[in-house]
């Protein structure tokens, strides 16, 4: 069974995260695509950054939503690299690649819609988020976009568990309501839910043509666990080289 390898924030184990360098190096190393994060600047630019503040990545404090992009651009990350805009990533991304764009803040949707209406990328894109309402807003504006539901701690709202079984009725209703292209799942899922019941449910989800992308997985035995059970369509990894050597 083949699956897609996405570089988590690019090739982030070797290069500064969420930079055009990290994205390029991930693709050069053999990744099928990259995962990145977006927020909106004060002047309505779609900025590629994970945190709401520039302090961790650039050493200079400042909330992205309270800064114009010209000021964010001055805050250099490691190796003097700039925090890029999403359209910069679009311009240099290979035609046969696959972008997973995670929406980190609801205010990013309006400028993202504006960008997507002026840009027609030749590569594939899925827009994911832990925030489901912004995904719905995005698809209302752009009906053809692929959306992916990011699943984390909020899973407990949709799944109830007994000793050996998993009641997924609410989760199935969630999927029917949003009709996502993909689910983006943490491996820690199996620390909280019965393994076999969860596997059976995910096999059912996958059979309904919803892709299963797993984050953030750096180890081959973990990947093999998912492959053996046929519940993986993609892995989001910091260790691009390790995954490529094992599966390409």
Q: Encode the chain (248 residues) as per-residue pLDDT tens digits.
A: 689 999 999 999 999 999 999 999 999 999 999 999 999 999 999 999 999 999 999 999 999 999 999 999 999 999 899 999 999 999 999 999 999 999 999 999 999 999 999 998 999 999 999 999 999 999 999 999 999 999 998 887 899 887 777 899 999 999 999 999 999 999 999 988 889 989 999 999 999 999 999 999 999 999 999 999 999 999 999 999 999 999 99
Tell me the CB-side half-sphere exposure of residue 193, using CA atoms within 13 A. Answer: 26
pTM of the model: 0.97
- Name every residue whose Cβ is closer than 8 Å to that of residue 119 and which is 6 or more positions away in sequence: 87, 90
Rounded (10°) CA dihedral 69, 70, 73, 74: -140
Q: Which of 167, 170, 173, 144 is nearest to 158 (CA)?
A: 170
Please tell me the predicted confidence (pLDDT) of residue 245.
97
Active site positions, annotated: 8, 50
Q: Give the chain's domains with CATH numbers.
A: 4-247 (3.20.20.190)
Within 76-168, residue ranges assigned H as helices are 86-92, 109-118, 132-141
pLDDT of residue 144: 95
For residue 120, what pLDDT is reported? 87
Whole-number percent of the chain with pLDDT over 90: 90
For 28, residues 6+ apart whose C-beta sits below 8 A from its C-beta are: none
């Amino acid at each position: 069974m083949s699956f897609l390898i996405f570089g988590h924030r690019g090739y982030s184990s070797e290069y500064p995260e969420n930079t055009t360098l990290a994205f390029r190096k991930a693709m050069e190393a053999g990744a099928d695509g990259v995962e990145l994060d977006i927020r909106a600047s004060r002047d309505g630019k779609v900025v590629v950054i994970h945190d709401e503040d520039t302090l961790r990545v650039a050493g200079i404090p400042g909330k992205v939503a309270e800064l114009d992009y010209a000021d964010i651009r001055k805050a250099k990350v490691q190796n003097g690299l700039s925090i890029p805009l999403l359209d910069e990533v679009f311009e240099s991304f290979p035609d046969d690649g696959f972008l997973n764009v995670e929406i980190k803040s609801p205010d990013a949707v309006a400028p993202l819609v504006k960008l997507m209406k002026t840009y027609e990328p030749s590569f594939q894109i899925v827009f994911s988020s832990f925030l489901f309402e912004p995904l719905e807003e995005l698809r209302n504006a752009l009906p053809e976009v692929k959306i992916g539901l990011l699943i984390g701690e909020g899973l407990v709202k949709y799944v109830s568990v007994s000793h050996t079984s998993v009641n997924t009725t609410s989760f199935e209703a969630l999927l029917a309501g949003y009709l996502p292209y993909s689910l983006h799942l943490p491996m820690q899922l199996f620390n909280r839910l019965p393994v076999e019941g969860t596997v059976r449910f995910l096999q059912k989800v996958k059979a309904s043509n919803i892709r299963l992308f797993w984050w953030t997985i750096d180890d081959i035995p973990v990947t093999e666990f998912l492959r053996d059970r046929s519940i993986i369509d993609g892995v989001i990894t910091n260790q691009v080289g390790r995954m490529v050597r094992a599966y390409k």
